[in-house]
Structure 1
Amino acid sequence: MGRQKAATKRPPGMTDVAKAAGVSAQTVSRVLSGHPNVQDKTRVKVLAAVEQLGYRRNNAARALSSGRSRTLGVVTLQAPSSSRGLVLSGIESAARSAGYAVNTATTASLDTSAIEAALSQLADEGVEGVVLAVPLIHTSHRIEQLTRSLPTVTIDGSRTPATEIVAVDQALAARLATRHLLDLGHDTVWHVAGPQEWLEAANRLDGWRGTLEAAGRAVPPPLEGDWSPASGYRNGLILGRIPDVTAVFVAGDEMAFGVIKALYELGRRVPEDISVVGVDNIELAEFCRPPLTTVAQPFAEMGALAVTHLLRSIADPAAVPEPEIVEPHLVIRASTAGPPS
């Protein structure tokens, strides 16, 4: 029915908006691209015409003489994070090298409606493709519709039928950390997990549990954090009061910092009494006390790789998306040692 309607009535174009607003098509383009050299009253007239005609802003950039906006979009969380900053830096650097700008839409939560709004914002801004740097806990008809109309790459392993995946093997990250601690002689390894609505946290939990089970070791009850140092500190206060704990795998470096602080406050030394391994290898990990053993993730490289996949999808929309899984590696520092004798 929608296609029949489109065949009988042409959707409004930029020239229609220009005519309704009494300005040139170039002025419409400037308004819709956020150009600063436009008078406020002109901007208001153009936006009113856009609303009146039902003209979607993403049509603006695509109707320019080049037919391309040369802009990519990124959906990310508002909360500050070293890893997210590195991913965004990698995206921006690779996009700039390819002659693209980057528009970022932040979301305060992982609710479906919030992600829908962020994707809609980027579609309205005329981006040619999107890097989805947040996990898709649940999808919706609207999200699937948007990711079908815009080439989309996810970087945490979650996907819709139309998205392409670029992700780190998070189960392998957990296996590397857990195996390292077992090889040092620890009987078992406790785990401070990330929030389980995050696919990468769930995969790390599975990798940790599977490694212990494969080694015939006891699997302690996992504790859950929210990626923050404060949540690591709270869980560290619990772990530090359990006499049998000698090794802990923490699902994120920032939580590991909190765990170590709590252990020291309880008189438990790292690594003499308890060994700690994190994940991410953020810049501060090397300067922790003691320097943190961690599983490194190539965040900036992941951002650049996502852009490479996205540009390929833009160039060939009919191509079948193929996932690319990147292997992390263990960085051994002074926070791990054999168990106390």
Structure 2
Amino acid sequence: MSSQPHKPAVITDVAKLAGVSHQTVSRVLNKHPSVSEHTRKKVLEAIQELDYRPNQTARSLVTRKTSTIGVVSCGSSQYGPSQMVYGIEQAARDAGYHVIITNITELTRDQITEGIEHLMMQQVDGIILITPLIVNVNEIKDLLPNVPYVLIDAPWGIDLPTVMIDQVSGGRKMIRHVLDLGHRDIAFITGPMHWCDAKYRLEGWQHEMQTENLPMDLVIESDWSADGGYAATQKLLKGGHKFTAIVAANDQMALGAIHALKDAGIRVPDQVSIVGFDDIPEAAHFDPPLTTMRQNFPLLGKRGVTHLLERLNDPQIDVHQSLIQAQIVVRKSVKNLV
């Protein structure tokens, strides 16, 4: 004879076992401060004993909240955006929220619309958009008129709630370190110029080079990849350009640059120095260990979630942009010429 399937516990079962009302159980589940610690402990023990699982759908019908954050992410195959998503997930979990992620390949109106519509069908409470590419600000406003949202890694100076790393300052710190060590002939390998990070890091490089009245003609656009960094460095070498240092706009391109220089019989950093940007986990194990700029992606995700929760609690809160500073990590890939 087959046994009957176990019937899941409901809130009244918890109340009966704990010797309280179902309203008290509800207050414990919602972390209401009016419940005594003794009563809270009894309810939690009953929940554990019965393996009770709250009906999230029913709760959301009452509260009109799902405790869910939606994320529209573009460029998730790259290290930066992927780490931003990880930071958002960690911060949301700590705040008691679940995360639903939809990935898009381009920041076009159609793809952003599709991503937002998918998340809204899941009844998310708010949306975080990871927007590393240059976007049309008015389109973002039009697409999100009735849901709280925050942008991460968006253009600086836009009239939208934004959290970002100060890429211009990071670019300036990166090149300033190289200049302070006596380098004057410096090449720059940029990322794709339709990416905000590439544009702002180049601006930082240009600012410091201009301050020193140095030429700024050794700039090659690449694609963030190690292969792209390799090809860009080969182009510099074949062009017969004179340089003592290469500034790569991310660590992967720096890795490719090191490879190309070694294939050409050029020693790093004895003959040509290299710096990168991001401080990926492997950067400390490059040969030589890479000097680079560290971006605090967990903090970026936490700030994004914090600002979104603020907007959920107060939709009329003032729009502002939050900047996080990148920090230089000095290793062994830059030679001191002073």
**What's the TM-score bracket when you normalise by the shorter of the two chains?**
0.7 to 0.9
Q: Select the residue among 312, 323, 330 that pairs with 1:332.
A: 330
Residue among 299, 307, 310 paired with 2:308: 310
Displacement after TM superposition at 1:61 (Å): 9.0
Query: Could you say what secondary structure the match of 2:253 adopts?
Result: helix
SS at match of 1:279: coil
Which segment is superposed worse, 110-119 or 175-184? 110-119
1:97-153 Cα shifts (integer Å, max 9, x gaps): 111100001012233321221122112221111111123523276532233322221
Structure 1 counterpart of 2:88: 91
- The answer on 1:102 being equivalent to 2:83 is no
* Aligned residue among 63, 66, 73 for 2:63: 66
User: How many percent identity over aligned positions?
Assistant: 34
Residue 228 (structure 1) aligned with residue 211 (structure 2): no
1:240-251 alignment, distance < 5 Å: 240-241=237-238, 242-251=240-249
Contact 1:190–1:249 (CA<8 Å) still a contact in 2? yes
Q: Report how far residue 217 of structure 1 moved.
A: 1.2
Q: Is the 8 A contact 2:185 2:242 kept in 1?
A: no
What amino acid is aligned across from residue 288 of structure 2 in structure 1? P
Shift of 1:78: 5.8
Residue 183 of structure 2 corresponds to residue 181 of structure 1: no
Residues 252-280 of structure 1, C-alpha deviation per residue, up to 9 Å, x if partnerless? 11111111111111111111111111111
Alignment partner of 2:259 out of 258, 261, 265: 261
Q: Tell me what 1:300 maps to.
A: 298
Where in structure 2 are there 5+ consecutive unaligned residues?
Answer: 1-56
- Contact 1:116-1:142 at 8 Å conserved across structures: no
Partner Cα separation in structure 2 for residue 177 and residue 61 of structure 1:
53
Aligned match for 2:142, one of 135, 140, 145: 145
In structure 1, C-alpha distance between the alignment counterparts of 2:156 and 2:148, rounded to whole Å? 12
Query: Is the 1:152–1:162 Cα contact (8 Å) retained in structure 2?
Result: no
Q: CA deviation at 1:240?
A: 3.2
1:250 partner amino acid = A
What's the RMSD between the two structures over aligned residues? 2.2
Which position in structure 2 is the counterpart of 1:46? none
Partner of 1:203: 200
User: What is the TM-score when the length of structure 1 is the normalising length?
Assistant: 0.77
In 1, the alpha carbon distance for the partners of 2:218 and 2:144 equals 38
Verify the 8 A CA contact 2:131 2:154 in the aligned structure 1. no
Cα-to-partner distance string for 1:56-94 (whole Å, 9 max, x where unaligned): xxxx99961121011001111365233323211211111
1:219 corresponds to which residue? 216
Cα–Cα, structure 1 residues 136 and 273, in superposed 2: closer, same or farther, change >3 Å?
A: closer
AA partner of residue 93 (structure 1): Q
Deviation (angstroms), 1:167: 0.8
Is the partner of 1:280 in helix, strand or coil?
A: coil
Residue 115 of structure 2 is aligned with which of 96, 106, 118? 118
Task: Name the structure 2 match of 1:49.
Answer: none
Q: Which residue of 1 is the match for residue 250 of structure 2?
A: 252
Contact residue 139 and residue 160 of structure 1 kept, 8 A: no
**Structure 1 stretch 183-192 or stretch 308-317: which is displaced more?**
183-192
User: Cα–Cα, structure 1 residues 313 and 268, in superposed 2: closer, same or farther, change >3 Å?
Assistant: same
**More displaced stretch, 74-83 vs 264-273:** 74-83
For 2:113 and 2:133, the matched residues in 1 are separated by 11
Counterpart in the other structure of 1:31: none
Q: Deviations over 1:37-70 (max 9, x none)?
A: xxxxxxxxxxxxxxxxxxxxxxx99961121011
Q: Bigger shift: 186-195 or 290-299?
A: 186-195
- 2:22 corresponding residue in structure 1: none
Distance 2:133 2:284 in 1: 31
> Which residue matches 1:130?
127
Deviation at 1:243, TM superposition (A): 4.8
Q: 1:158 to 1:121 in 2, by over 3 A?
A: farther
Q: Residue in 1 aligned with 2:73?
A: 76
Paired amino acid for 1:193 = T
- Name the aligned partner's letter for residue 318 of structure 1: Q
**Structure 2 residue matching 1:289: 3-state secondary structure:** coil
Deviation at 1:165, TM superposition (A): 0.9
Tell me the amino acid that sits aligned with residue 107 of structure 2.
L
Q: 1:149 to 1:161 in 2, by over 3 A?
A: farther
